A and B are shown apart, each in its own frame.
Chain A
Amino acid sequence: NAGVTQTPKFQVLKTGQSMTLQCAQDMNHEYMSWYRQDPGMGLRLIHYSVGAGITDQGEVPNGYNVSRSTTEDFPLRLLSAAPSQTSVYFCASSRGTNQYGYTFGSGTRLTVV
């Protein structure tokens, strides 16, 4: 049981490049989210999904796209990378009830130069 798997762990992009951060979970969780963590700001929600085929925006969605074609996978696409997107990105999944919280992946550290 792998939990939430994120790839890659590290990535360096040039401004204007695009890329996809991968996220997969094997717990059959309905809810999946993408967060970014920046110093002194905690974790901020980028996009989330409540099931296959259903996605919506979080607090900081600009510059990112998501899709959810299967229960297991929730990729995050950076359309045209900017230095402001330098951050650590976490994918998370949940069975959907508050008291259990979310299970997080180990993160992707992205640097945009």
Chain B
Amino acid sequence: DQQVKQNSPSLSVQEGRISILNCDYTNSMFDYFLWYKKYPAEGPTFLISISSIKDKNEDGRFTVFLNKSAKHLSLHIVPSQPGDSAVYFCAAPRMDSSYKLIFGSGTRLLVRP
């Protein structure tokens, strides 16, 4: 079973505060995880990734944490800005075919000014 799940369809936070977007996965053999950001009427854009051999990866205001024992990853945005308002997808390459991505259903983030 190879699934990636985002159980929160939406999240609303105040500008300047932390946004935490969560993702769970079903198979401990996943190699990599990726986060994409999508604005309306645009394609998803790659945001940040993390290898399964790490537990944290940071890029500016964005940090992804990986908890392998819980099969859980989270994307932290600090501080949140109104321009971060978008849909965020987590994804993982399939184990049998690494160029096939499995996507979660997405979380819509709204950052209130």
- Give bound CA distance, A104 to B36, whole Å: 10
Chain A residues near B (Cβ < 8 Å): 4, 31, 33, 35, 40-45, 48, 50, 58, 90, 92, 94, 96, 98-107
Task: Provide the residues of chain B in CB contact with A96, threshold 8 Å.
Answer: 99
Q: Is B113 an interface residue (CB 8 A)?
A: no
- A41 and B105 contact, CB distance less than 8 A: yes
Total cross-chain contacts (CB, 8 A): 65
- Give bound CA distance, A48 to B44, whole Å: 17
Q: Is B14 an interface residue (CB 8 A)?
A: no
**Least Cβ distance of A37 to chain B in Å?**
9
Q: Which residue of A44, A45, A99 has the most chain B CB atoms within 10 A of its CB atom? A: A99
Query: How does the 8 Å CB contact mask read for B84-113 relative to A, with 1 for contact and 0 for none?
Result: 000001010100001111011110000000
Task: Provide the residues of chain A in CB contact with B46, threshold 8 Å.
Answer: 100-103
- A42 and B106 contact, CB distance less than 8 A: yes
- B43 and A4 contact, CB distance less than 8 A: yes
Query: How does the 8 Å CB contact mask read for B1-18 relative to A, with 1 for contact and 0 for none?
Result: 000001001000000000
- Give bound CA distance, A94 to B89, whole Å: 17
Task: Provide the residues of chain A in CB contact with B9, threshold 8 Å.
Answer: 40
Chain B residues numbered 28-66 whose CB sits less than 8 Å from any CB in chain A: 31-32, 34, 36, 41-46, 49, 51
**Least Cβ distance of A7 to chain B in Å?**
13
- B41 and A106 contact, CB distance less than 8 A: yes
Which residue on chain B has the smallest CB distance to residue A38?
Answer: B105
Task: Provide the residues of chain A in CB contact with B51, threshold 8 Å.
Answer: 98-99
Task: Provide the residues of chain A in CB contact with B106, threshold 8 Å.
Answer: 42
